[in-house]
Amino acid sequence: MDIKERDDRYNAYLTSKMPKTKAFPSLFHAFWIGGLICCLGELIKDLLLLAFPDMSLNVASTFESVIIIVLASFLTGVGIYDRIGAYAGAGSIIPISGFSNSITSPALEFKREGLIFGLCAKMFIIAGPVIVTGVVASFVAGIIYIFI
Amino acid sequence: MIFDPMMYLKVFLVGGLICLIGQILIITTKMTSARILVTFLLSGVFLHVIGVFEPLKEFAGSGVTIPIMGFGYSLAKGAIEGWYDYGLIGLLTGGLTATSAGIAAAVVSAFVFSLLFSSKTKK
């Protein structure tokens, strides 16, 4: 069997085994779960402003993100967020809860490799690139904004 | 104004639309979640620099701040405000200062909950 034929057969086999994402339903799932998480955030902010009328909008928005982050981390811990993720795809990744999930999930996964080099080190395996690019981009954005 | 039903509709539609775009990217380019997060974070930074993000935030509130773009917006806004308040040091400290609550909350809760629970996905 020559190499090309072998490669073709292997690729065909791979394609047949790959999980197929049904395009249209997954778009709808991502849309409504993503929208719902954003609405939950807005609801948390409104409830905070109702409970503490003298709270500034900035503080309320910060609390809103923090509450969503802690909630998503907890749901990841008990294994519910992964099920939401399987259903909603990008709808669970793009909201800030997905960022929280991307930290808690590897922390849980690598706990067995030890506290320091497992849990603490691998915690940033996905969020690390996000924070690095974010900090660099914000620095560059600051410079661009100032000099233009 | 709080508890405005129109606002919730806008939040739902805009937030949903952003996630829909993300899902289209996942389907068409097979991006991993780290790449998706980075792409949307950078788009948030970019939208703030060209001055589009603030009007969007005015329009859709949590619909644009809860998606990771809001995180990029806070980083960029913090760095720019830091420059005006503290100069060069502010440019360095501003971004992380503005987002420190979120990052610290994510790290602390990840640490606590991963100690309390164990992985359920791999049996």
The mean pLDDT of B23-47, rounded to a whole number, is: 90
**CB contact (8 A) between residue B109 and residue A100:** yes
Residue owning tokens 């490799």: A113
Q: By the 8 A CB rule, do B71 and A96 touch?
A: yes
Q: Give CA–CA dist B79/A142, Å, rounded.
A: 6
Residue B109: pLDDT above 90?
yes
Chain B residues with CB under 8 Å of A142 CB are 76, 79-80, 82-83, 91, 94-95
Distance from CA of B5 to the nearest CA of A (A): 11
The mean pLDDT of B2-6, rounded to a whole number, is: 83
Backbone angles phi, psi at B67, to 5 degrees: -60, 155
Mean pLDDT for all residues in chain B: 90
Q: What pLDDT, on a 0 to 100 scale, did the predictor assign at position A19?
A: 64
Q: What pLDDT, on a 0 to 100 scale, did the predictor assign at position A30?
A: 93
**CB contact (8 A) between residue B105 and residue A46:** no
Q: What pLDDT, on a 0 to 100 scale, did the predictor assign at position B74?
A: 94
Please tell me what DSSP assigns to residue A33: H
**CB contact (8 A) between residue A69 and residue B106:** yes
Residue B123: pLDDT above 60?
no
User: In the structure, what pLDDT confidence band is assigned to residue B1 with cuts at 50, 70 and 90?
Assistant: low
User: For chain B, what percent of residues have pLDDT higher than 90?
Assistant: 76
User: For chain B, what percent of residues have pLDDT higher than 70?
Assistant: 96
Q: By the 8 A CB rule, do B80 and A146 touch?
A: yes
**CB contact (8 A) between residue A27 and residue B17:** no
Residue ranges for chain A with pLDDT beneath 70: 1, 19-22
Q: By the 8 A CB rule, do B101 and A66 touch?
A: yes
Residue B95: pLDDT above 80?
yes
Q: Give CA–CA dist A134/B78, Å, rounded.
A: 12
Backbone angles phi, psi at B121, to 5 degrees: -75, -40
Tokens of A11: 């690729």
Q: What pLDDT, on a 0 to 100 scale, did the predictor assign at position A21?
A: 57
Question: Using CB atoms within 10 A of its CB, is residue A57 exposed (0-12), middle (13-18) or buried (19+)?
Answer: exposed
Domain boundaries, chain B: 5-116
Q: What pLDDT, on a 0 to 100 scale, did the predictor assign at position A17?
A: 74
Instruction: State which H helix or E strand residue A87 sits in.
Output: helix A80-88
Output the pTM of the full model. 0.87
Picking from B21, B91, B118, the nearest residue to A108 by CB comes out as B118
Reference A135, options B42, B119, B67, B34; nearest CA is B42
Chain B residues with CB under 8 Å of A35 CB are 11-13, 15-16, 19, 63
**CB contact (8 A) between residue B111 and residue A120:** yes
Chain A residues with CB under 8 Å of B53 CB are none
Size of interface A-B (CB pairs under 8 A): 266
Q: Which residues contact B91 (CB under 8 A, 6 or more apart)?
A: A139, A142, A143, A146, B79, B82, B83
Residue B46: pLDDT above 70?
yes
Chain A residues with CB under 8 Å of B87 CB are none
